[in-house]
Amino acid sequence: MIIAFIGLGNMGIPMAKNIVKAGFALHAYNRSPEKMKDIVLAGGKAFTSLEEAVEDADVVITMLSDDAAVTEVTGKIIPVMKKGSIHLSMSTIGAVTSSALAKTMEEHQLYYIGAPVMGRPPAAEAKQLFVLLSGKAEAKVKVQSVLEAMSQRIFDYGDDPASAHTVKLMMNYMIFVVTEMLSEVMLMAEKSGIDKQMLLDTMTSTIFGSPVVKIYGGLVIQEKDNPNGFKTTLASKDLHLAQEAASQNNVTLPLGEVIQKHFKEIIAQQGGDKDVTLLVSFLREKFL
């Protein structure tokens, strides 16, 4: 089976490497060619043309930054993809976009599978990602072994390819809520003379023992930018998509309005390239 991987960012590179390690033939394409060097060293094949990278592929994986990028790439690859081949869309995009892409691909006798992931770059490197999956059953069977090469568990959300993307947006929304909560609580501890690490240990050893609290709590306490982290610009984009999806279903996300306001203020002041966990630094300056 030939896998084409499009989009070699902080997440894409370790994911693509794990596909090669699993024994698949990998065709790689990225707009910045230098990012393909590690894939070639791992045993993959680099292409300077997007169309050439996908024309012989059985599965085309996209791991891109936003809806516009995925839509643009999909429009370019549809004419050259083999009939019956699969677009495995692993980016965080909106439900409306994924539904539109799935419809267009079906019209061209192609499959679109939603498969966004949960996990940061270290989890991708360690093959510890969680995959949220949805789409046609016959196509999901074909990509099972590919997904297993990158993940520790797959959650199947049925036939509608938009479902997995909607779940990803809800999961990210909860991460943002937790990050805001941790930032506020740690500032309160700081001003109260309470040891922040002890507080985090108390949280994670009692009623808040989830991985997201452990990981993001530690990052909030460290208060250092993480170049492999979750950029505030991307967090704001994902939160907007979650708010949009909620609105389409007549649901509101009141906490999201507060957090989005903070994200936009950070982006206006700093450019938004720093890790989202530095929200704590912003709140300190804003409120204290």
Give me 51's structure tokens. 């169309």
**What pLDDT is stored for residue 69 in this prediction?**
96
- Write the CB contacts of 111 (distance below 8 Å, at least 6 apart in sequence): 84, 85, 86, 87, 105, 135, 136, 138, 139
- DSSP β-bridge partners for residue 175: none
- Does the CA dihedral 115-116-119-125 come out positive or negative? positive
Model pLDDT, residue 67 = 96
- pLDDT of 33 reads 86
pTM, entire model: 0.94
Could you tell me the CA-to-CA distances from 275 to 91, 93, 142 in Å, in that order? 19, 20, 36
142/225 Cα distance (integer angstroms): 39
Phi, psi of 129 (to 5 degrees): -70, 155
From 3.40.1390.20, 3.40.50.150, 3.40.50.720, 2.30.30.90, which CATH number describes the 2-158 domain? Answer: 3.40.50.720
Contacts of 239 (CB under 8 A, 6+ apart): 172, 173, 176, 256, 259, 260, 263
The confidence score (pLDDT) of residue 229 equals 82
Asked if residues 190 and 167 have their Cβ atoms less than 8 Å apart, the reply is: no
Q: Which residues are catalytic?
A: 168
Whole-number pLDDT of residue 276? 95
Buried/exposed 111-120: b ≥16 CB within 10 Å, e otherwise: bbbbbbbbbb
User: Which stretches of the chain score pLDDT less than 50?
Assistant: none
CATH code for the part of the protein at 165-287? 1.10.1040.10
Q: Is the dihedral of CA 133, 99, 62, 24 positive or negative?
A: positive
The residues with which 5 forms a beta bridge, in sequence order, are 28, 61
DSSP character for 144? H
DSSP string, 82-118: PTT-EEEE-S---HHHHHHHHHHHHHTT-EEEE--EE
Domain locations along the chain? 2-158, 165-287
